[in-house]
Amino acid sequence: MTRMLIIGPPGSGKGTQASRISERLGVVAISTGDIFRDNVKRETPLGLEARKYMDAGDFVPDSVTNSMVRDRLKEDDVREGFLLDGYPRTPAQVVELDDILQQNELTLDAVLQLTAPDEELIRRLTGRAELDGRSDDNETVIRHRLDLYHEQTEEVVSQYEGRGIVKRVDGIGAIDEVTERVVGALNGTR
């Protein structure tokens, strides 16, 4: 059974690697970003609230995100493990996730951190915006999201480093190469 997080700055390949790793490990990948974007597309009340934050490059408030993750981790498909993508992003969300896991008598096995230089991330995200027409990926918003990541999410990584469960992987390179680095890090061969 594997219970892990994948953390990294916007554009570092978290979604791509989460999908590949969840398939290899046989656990469900849970992406808060995908859930938010789906709600925005369907114009649900959550989606309408989330959209104003996403379009500005801000994080969706913890209260909305925490509630969504708590509900998701109660579903049957996570009993054999999970890979959380995009959560927790703030120290307060770490506390909430600890509470959720403790209530279910679970612990995290690993926190996988993908790394990449900011300028490479900006190049990737502006290219993705052109292809996908994403309103949350213009350069100003991207730089703001990277600043938020450095200010808030890096503190999350520090908290997990104190628990000795962080595995850092360079997110630059071909997708297959990064996947092999991730597998190596998780297996302790890197």
pLDDT single digits (tens) 155-167: 999 999 999 999 9
Q: Catalogue the long-range contacts made by 154-161 (C-beta closer than 8 Å, 24 or more residues apart).
A: 155/90, 155/91, 156/7, 156/88, 156/89, 156/90, 156/91, 156/93, 156/94, 157/7, 157/111, 157/113, 159/91, 159/94, 160/5, 160/94, 160/108, 160/111
Task: Check whether 117 is labelled as a binding-site residue.
Answer: no
Whether 145 sits among the annotated catalytic residues: the reply is: yes
**Active-site choice (128, 143, 168, 190):** 128
Instruction: Check pLDDT > 80 for residue 57.
Output: no
- Phi then psi dihedrals of residue 40, to 5 deg: -65, -45
pLDDT in tens, 116-162: 999 999 999 888 877 877 666 688 889 998 998 898 888 999 999 99
Whole-number mean pLDDT of the chain? Answer: 88
Residue 30: CB atoms within 10 Å: 23
Task: Check whether 152 is labelled as a binding-site residue.
Answer: no
- Does the global pTM surpass 0.85? no
> Considering the chain, what percentage of its residues have pLDDT values greater than 90?
50
Q: Are strands 2-7 and 110-115 parallel, antiparallel or unpaired?
A: parallel
Task: Check whether 24 is labelled as a binding-site residue.
Answer: no
Higher-pLDDT residue of 75 and 166 is 166
**Active-site choice (134, 143, 168, 190):** 134
Cα–Cα dist 66/51, whole Å: 17
Task: Check whether 37 is labelled as a binding-site residue.
Answer: yes
CATH of domain 2-179: 3.40.50.300
Task: Check whether 60 is labelled as a binding-site residue.
Answer: yes
The answer to whether the beta carbons of residues 125 and 135 sit under 8 Å apart is no
pLDDT of residue 170: 96
Whether 14 sits among the annotated catalytic residues: the reply is: yes
Nearest residue to 67 via CA among 52, 45, 82, 83: 45
**Active-site choice (72, 89, 124, 167):** 89
**Active-site choice (3, 14, 20, 181):** 14
pLDDT in tens, 11-22: 899 989 999 999
> Which residues have a Cβ under 8 Å from the Cβ of 112 and sit 6 or more positions away?
4, 5, 6, 7, 17, 21, 166, 167, 169, 182, 185, 186
Task: Check whether 184 is labelled as a binding-site residue.
Answer: no
Task: Check whether 70 is labelled as a binding-site residue.
Answer: no
